[in-house]
Amino acid sequence: MSMKLSYCGLTSVVLGSLSVVSVLLLCHAMFIVSVSAQSNEGILIKIVNSSFAPLSTVEGNQVRVAVTYQVNEGSLEDEKINGIMKIYAENGTLVHSSSFPEGFIAKKKGGTEIFRTTIRDPTVTNLMTNITFIDFDRQETLSNTVTANITMQGDNQTQTVSDEAEPVEEDEGPTEEDVFNE
């Protein structure tokens, strides 16, 4: 007995019950690989809010992006990790990157981390930030990457927030004095 079987986008001529089982197992394995590829990050991060505004005490404009995180991998709970914020100009040129000088502890229940740095070039008025959590030694990516497109505040310009804005505590994260510049 011969019959044509189409499943998971695969078409197979079935010569017996063994072929049907083989096709089903292959499709199931493809589904598992697909799901794993989408959820392989140990930490999930999301932008809470962002801003780009002039500083009042020093020359320059401060980029500030707050992200919340959720630890999905038990081995990362209570571990010292780091995060990196890469800042790009409108034309895609990397302008600056910064991270936490001493890292931070990935809290079991998740939390909020605030990335801050100063851009001294007054001609930069629109920028894009990419933020990713990494291991403390800066060798391995631990999270997804989140992006914020931000426009300079002040002088009748407004802030662009990438995700829904929520209030965050101001005392978290590095200040412009202790941000490690790479």
Kindly state whether residues 16 and 90 are assigned to the same domain.
no
- pLDDT beyond 70 at 150: yes
According to DSSP, the β-strands at 80-89 and 126-135 are: antiparallel
pLDDT at 39 exceeding the cut of 60: no
Co-location of 9 and 65 in the same domain: no
Please tell me whether residues 96 and 34 are part of one structural domain.
no
> Smallest Cα–Cα separation from 129: which of 84, 181, 176?
84
For residue 79, give the CATH number of its domain. 2.60.40.2550
Same domain, 52 and 117: yes
How large is the average pLDDT for residues 14-18? 46
Backbone phi, then psi, for 86, in 5-degree steps?
A: -105, 130
Q: Is 32 left (phi over 0), alpha (psi -120 to 50) or beta?
A: alpha
Domain residues for 53?
43-181
CA dihedral for 88, 40, 66, 116, sign (positive or negative): negative
How many independent structural domains does the chain possess? 2
pLDDT score of 40? 54
The residue among 99, 47, 45 whose CA lies nearest residue 76 is 45
The band of 153, judged by pLDDT with boundaries at 50, 70 and 90, is confident
Task: Please tell me the predicted confidence (pLDDT) of residue 41.
Answer: 83
Q: Are residues 18 and 59 both part of a single domain?
A: no
Confidence of residue 49 (pLDDT cuts 50, 70, 90): very high
CA-CA distance, 170 to 125, in Å (whole number)? 23
Strands 43-54 and 111-119: unpaired
